[in-house]
């Protein structure tokens, strides 16, 4: 006695009897489509519609056409129709839903496993549909794929399609197939950071102790989130990171990782001494030297100010940016000269870093200082940085500088700057002073187009 699959037994009694004459089904479809606007739907020499045409008809507005198209596709047993049939599994017409479900189950054979794996994301999405309860259907398919072709499902983790990678991983997790370190390491070899993070989160929730080999691999992961989660997990379970990674973690560019490592190794490694050794040494990378400088800031090292001042003078961009950040914190309002110096530096990256740090500080630039920068840009690219300083001024000083440097801008840039000024006009209700009104009256005739465009905003 042949044993029918569970879902076949579940749905088969509710279906209409399968029509033996396949040609008759196609004829019924053509009869339903006997309209002038369906003239492009033509059968082949054998009187039957192609699989491609039938797949298109599964999306027809007429439910009878969709139902017969699904029945015809079920009769072909062609796996090329799987995508269309899966869409019909959630059709609001219940006979179509049942017919499509049975047709998909009939295609579920070891030979067709690769095609089902390719559609795994769409299959799993059925669980999120509310029209029917597809959980048994999806579970039946994923369970079959794991038994029929587990290597192919594991290979799907490296698919260029992100949705397929996510579906494959969640399938392996739900079926408890990430049960050993070898399986986890195969996922960790993936370049998809989000995929690795999901696998690590699942693994940490299942296993209390981690082997040294796995810890070494996880704490060297390129994504800081994974390194951080693993380190916090080790700390929560009373484990220490391997000795070979102590220095690497203390010099990690992520501050949370660096400081948690310092606390975990408080009685093992003198972190402050290590950082003092790293900052002046060219034997370490610029990122490590920058991390060491930030580490000293976090522990409030008493002689940090002279060390930061020295670091700012070094020809190492990463250190100079970190030193500028630290000096702005330590010097407060006295750091204005250093901020102006950083903005005027030939290094574009340092000027950009200074621009980003400026809103975090209490420093206020004057119109004269901004004008000096506009008059003496180290490069053409610096000019665009300095234009972004204008919104930090009083809106009337901003407009004055805009008009004063009107000739330096191309027509498109003038429009952009004017639109920015107009868009932020109402953010401050301060009125123009007498001197500002006098200056504006003198400058507006030199920019008639701008003056006309903002006439309604002028004092």
CA 409 to chain centre: 36
Angle between helices 162-174 and 193-206 (to 10 degrees): 10
Confidence label for 260 from pLDDT (cuts 50, 70 and 90): very high
CB atoms within 10 A of CB 305: 13
Residue 314 pLDDT more than 50? Answer: yes
**What phi, psi does 282 have (nearest 5°)?**
-80, -5
Write the pLDDT tens digit of every residue in 407-448.
888 888 888 888 888 888 776 677 888 898 888 888 888 888
Contact (CB, 8 A) for 367 and 397:
yes
R_g of the chain computed on alpha carbons? 34
3-state SS, the chain, equals: CCCCCHHHHHHHHHCCCCCCCHHHHHHHHHHHCCCHHHCCCCCCCCCCCCHHHHHHHCCCCCHHHHHHHHHHHHHHCCHHHHHHHHHHCCCCCHHHHHHHHHHHHHHCCHHHHHHHHHCHHHHHHHHHCCCCCCHHHHHHHHHHHHHHCHHHHHHHHHCCCHHHHHHHHHHHHHCCCCCCHHHHHHHHCCCCHHHHHHHHHHHHHHCCCCCHHHHHHHCCCCCHHHHHHHHHHHHHCCCCCCHHHHHHHHCCCCHHHHHHHHHHCCCCCCHHHHHHHHCCCCCCCHHHHHHHHHHHHHCCCCCHHHHHHHHHCCCCHHHHHHHHHHHHHHHHHHHHHHHHHHHCCCCHHHHHHHHHHHHHCCCCCCHHHHHHHHHCCCCHHHHHHHHCCHHHCCHHHHHHHHHHCHHHCCHHHHHHHHHHHHHCHHHCCCCCCHHHHHHHHHHHHHCHHHHHHCHHHCC
User: Using one digit for the tens of pLDDT, what is the confidence trace for 190-231?
Assistant: 889 999 999 999 988 887 678 888 999 999 999 999 999 999
Confidence of residue 16 (pLDDT cuts 50, 70, 90): very low
pLDDT tens, residue by residue, 338-353: 999 999 999 999 999 9
60: CB partners within 8 A, 6+ apart: 66, 69
pLDDT tier at 283 (50, 70, 90 boundaries)?
Answer: very high
Are the C-beta atoms of 200 and 225 separated by less than 8 Å? no
Q: Is 450 exposed, middle or buried (0-12, 13-18, 19+ CB in 10 A)?
A: buried
Domain locations in the chain as residue ranges: 392-459
Q: Which two tokens stand for residue 246?
A: 């102590």
The pTM for the full model equals 0.76
Residues 271, 250: Cα–Cα separation, whole Å = 7
Residue % of the chain over a pLDDT of 90:
52
Residues in the chain: 459
Are the beta carbons of 25 and 71 closer than 8 angstroms?
Answer: yes
pLDDT recorded at residue 368? 93
**Alpha-carbon distance 5 to 194, whole Å?**
36
Over range 168-188, report the average pLDDT: 86
Specify the pLDDT at position 45.
Answer: 62
Q: Tell me the longest C-alpha to C-alpha distance in the chain.
A: 101
CA distance 121 to 161: 10
**What is the reported pLDDT for 287?**
94
**Per residue in 291-306, pLDDT tens?**
999 999 999 999 999 9
pLDDT of 19 reads 41
Residue 20: pLDDT band (50, 70, 90) is: very low
Quick one: pLDDT at residue 178?
Answer: 80
């Amino acid at each position: 006695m042949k044993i029918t699959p569970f879902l076949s037994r579940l749905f088969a009694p509710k279906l209409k009897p399968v029509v033996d004459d396949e040609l008759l089904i196609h004829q019924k479809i053509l009869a339903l489509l006997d309209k002038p606007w369906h003239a492009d739907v033509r059968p082949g020499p054998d009187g039957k519609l192609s699989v491609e045409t039938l797949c298109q008809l599964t999306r027809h507005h007429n439910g009878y056409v969709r139902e017969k198209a699904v029945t015809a596709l079920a009769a072909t047993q062609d796996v090329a129709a799987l995508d269309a049939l899966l869409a019909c599994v959630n059709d609001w017409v219940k006979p179509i839903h049942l017919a499509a479900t049975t047709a998909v189950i009939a295609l579920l054979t070891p030979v067709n496993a690769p095609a089902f794996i390719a559609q795994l994301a769409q299959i799993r999405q059925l669980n999120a549909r509310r029209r029917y309860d597809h959980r048994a259907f999806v579970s039946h398919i994923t369970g079959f794929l794991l038994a029929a072709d587990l290597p192919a499902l594991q290979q799907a983790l490296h698919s260029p399609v992100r949705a397929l990678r996510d579906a494959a991983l969640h399938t392996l997790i739900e079926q408890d197939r990430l049960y050993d370190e070898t399986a986890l390491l195969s996922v960790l070899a993936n370049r998809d950071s989000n995929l690795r993070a999901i696998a690590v989160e699942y693994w940490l929730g299942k296993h209390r102790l981690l082997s040294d080999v796995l810890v070494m691999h996880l704490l060297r992961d390129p994504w800081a989130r994974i390194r951080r989660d693993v380190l916090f997990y080790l700390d929560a379970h009373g484990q220490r990171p391997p000795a070979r990674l102590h220095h690497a973690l203390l010099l990690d560019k992520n501050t949370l990782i660096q400081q948690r490592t310092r606390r975990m190794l408080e009685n093992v490694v003198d972190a402050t001494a290590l950082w003092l050794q790293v900052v002046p040494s060219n034997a370490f990378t610029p990122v490590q030297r920058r991390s060491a400088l930030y580490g000293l800031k976090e522990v409030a090292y008493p002689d940090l100010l002279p060390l930061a001042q020295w670091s700012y003078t070094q020809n190492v961009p990463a250190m100079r940016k970190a030193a500028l950040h630290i000096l702005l914190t330590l010097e407060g309002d006295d750091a204005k000269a250093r901020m102006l110096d950083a903005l005027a530096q030939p290094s574009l990256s340092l000027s950009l870093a200074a621009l980003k740090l400026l809103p975090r500080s209490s420093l206020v630039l004057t119109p004269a200082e901004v004008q000096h920068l506009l008059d003496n840009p180290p490069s053409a690219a610096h000019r665009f940085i300095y234009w972004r300083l204008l919104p930090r001024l009083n809106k009337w000083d901003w407009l004055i500088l805009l008009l004063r440097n009107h000739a330096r801008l191309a027509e498109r840039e003038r429009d952009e700057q004017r639109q920015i000024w107009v868009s932020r006009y109402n953010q401050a209700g301060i009125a123009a002073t007498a001197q500002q009104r006098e200056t504006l009256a003198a400058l507006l005739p030199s920019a008639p187009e701008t003056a006309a465009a903002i006439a309604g905003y002028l004092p």
